[in-house]
Amino acid sequence: MISQSIALDWNSIDTVLLDMDGTLLDLHFDYYFWTQHLPEKYNQIQSGNIEQTTLYIANRLAEKQGQLEWYCTDYWSRQFGLNIIQAQAEVKHLIQERPRVIEFLECLGKKQKNRVLITNSDRPSIELKFAHCSIEPLLDQVISSHDYRAAKEDPEFWHQLQNSLDFDPNTTLFIDDSEPVLNAAHQYGIKHLLSIKQPISSQPREDISQFPMIDDFMSVLGKQTHG
């Protein structure tokens, strides 16, 4: 299969904002944890029906989707009466970069672009991921939405990010797998926006993004690749 290159003028891009889960990292880890591993752990505590437990957790998560609590491991630890980070560490072997991410980040560094991770994950989640993948040394800055007390879906996040980074939206590229987040970035005025074709490697994406979708990071650098 040939992955088509993405036409970007890199001379007009100074800052590259990058999401973590589902973008730089395979979302399979998070998907598996929240839909399978956590229900199994919680069901052991409750001694209930696994199907009912899975549905209960899914419904509880859905109530907070898009809000900062949805991404807060401390919040869910309190809600479910178990340590979420410790439970996630039990399946840490599933944490992995998406294909060619390391090569992409290295190339951005050579181009002297400012590589900034902006994630809705909280700091404990970030630390767990960083301990089991290789992206941290290739990032110039790491920002959690919890630092601003506003999720990336919230316009307030982008105002605080602007105050923190002092970046130019017209010379910024942002890559994320979340449509609501990309829409928020678009509303703020980020000029270059890309989505991810298959955030979870184990299953196809359910929806089609209104933004250009990539499946090979090197295509963002204008390179056709064979896979």
Domain shared by 69 and 109, yes or no: no
Q: Which domain holds residue 73?
A: 29-93
Q: Tokens for 15?
A: 């800052």
pLDDT of res. 5 = 60
Per-residue pLDDT of the chain (227 residues; tens, 9 = 90+): 334 567 789 999 999 999 999 999 999 999 999 999 999 999 988 878 999 999 999 999 999 998 999 999 999 999 999 999 999 999 999 999 999 999 999 999 999 999 999 999 999 999 999 999 999 999 999 999 999 999 999 999 999 999 999 899 999 999 999 999 999 999 999 999 999 999 999 888 878 899 999 988 998 987 644 44
**Calpha distance 76→74 (Å, rounded):** 6
Measure the CA dihedral 114/67/130/159, to 10°.
20
Q: Same domain, yes or no, for 215 and 155?
A: yes
State pLDDT tens for residues 102-157.
Answer: 999 999 999 999 999 999 999 999 999 999 999 999 999 999 999 999 999 999 99
Judgement on whether residues 18 and 72 belong to the same structural domain of the protein: no
- pLDDT for the residue numbered 1: 33
- Whether pTM > 0.95 for this model: the answer is no
Q: How many domains does the chain have?
A: 2
What is the C-alpha end-to-end distance of the chain, expressed in Å? Answer: 5
In the β-sheet with 213-214, what is the strand arrangement from edge to edge?
141-144, 114-119, 15-18, 172-175, 192-196, 213-214
* Cβ contact 169:190 at 8 Å: yes
87 and 106 in a single domain? The answer is no
Judgement on whether residues 184 and 102 belong to the same structural domain of the protein? yes
